Chains A and B, each alone.
Chain A
Amino acid sequence: MAGNDSAVKVHIENVVKKFNTRKGEVVALNGANFDIHENEFVCVVGPSGCGKSTLLNIIGGLEEPTEGRVLVDGQEVTGPGPDRGIVFQQYALFPWLTVLENVKFGLKLQGKSDKEAEEIALKYIKLVELQDFVQSYPKELSGGMKQRVAIARAYAVNPKVLLMDEPFGALDAQTRTQLQSELLETWEKEQKTCFFITHDVEEAIILAQRVIIMYARPGRVKEIVDIDIPYPRTQETKMTPRFLELKNHIWSQVYQEYLSVRK
Chain B
Amino acid sequence: MKEKKVPIWSKVPSWAWALISLALAIALWLAASGTWPAVFASPEKVLNAFIERAQSGLLWEHVWASVSRVLTGFGIAFVVSIPVAFLMAWYDPFRHVVEPWIQFIRNIPPLAYVFLIIAALGIGQTSKITVIFIAAFLVMVITIYQGVKGVDVTLIKAARVLGATQKDIFFKVTIPASTPFILVAARLGLSTSLTTLMASEIVGGDKGIGMMIQQASGYYQMDVVLLGIIMLGIIGICFEKIVRFLERRFTGWQETIQQ
Contact = CB atoms under 8 A, between A and B. Distances in A.
B52 to A, nearest CB: 50
Given A92-B158, A110-B163, 10 more contacts: A62-B161, A86-B157, A86-B161, A92-B154, A94-B158, A95-B253, A95-B255, A96-B179, A106-B163, A157-B162
Contacts of A157: 162-163
15 contacts: A61-B161, A62-B157, A81-B161, A82-B161, A82-B163, A88-B154, A92-B155, A92-B157, A94-B155, A94-B173, A96-B176, A109-B162, A109-B163, A137-B253, A153-B162
Interface residues of B, number: 22
Interface residues of A, number: 25
Contact of A95 (B157, B160, B254): B254
Nearest to B180: A96
B206 interface: no
A137 B250 CA distance: 13
Given A96-B176, A139-B253, A105 B159 contact: yes
A105 B163 CA distance: 9
A56 to B, nearest CB: 11
**Is the contact region of chain A dominated by helix, strand, or loop, or is it mixed?**
loop
Contacts of A97: 253
B253 A88 contact: no
B161 A84 contact: yes
A239 to B, nearest CB: 37
B177 interface: yes
**Is the contact region of chain B dominated by helix, strand, or loop, or is it mixed?**
helix
Top 6 A-B pairs ranked by shortest CB distance? A106-B162, A92-B158, A82-B163, A92-B154, A109-B163, A80-B160
Interface of B: 152, 154-155, 157-164, 168, 172-173, 176-177, 179, 251-255
Contacts of A92: 152, 154-155, 157-158
A90 interface: yes
Contacts of A90: 154
Interface in A92-140: 92, 94-97, 105-106, 109-110, 137-139
Contacts of B162: 82, 85, 105-106, 109, 153, 157
Contacts of B252: 137
Nearest to A60: B161
A110 B152 CA distance: 23
A92 B153 CA distance: 9
Contacts of A82: 161-163
Given A92-B155, A94-B173, A62 B160 contact: yes
Contacts of B176: 94, 96
Contacts of B251: 96
A81 B163 contact: yes
A155 to B, nearest CB: 12
Contact of B253 (A61, A84, A96, A110): A96
A124 to B, nearest CB: 13
B1 to A, nearest CB: 33
A85 B168 CA distance: 18
Nearest to B157: A62
Nearest to B168: A109
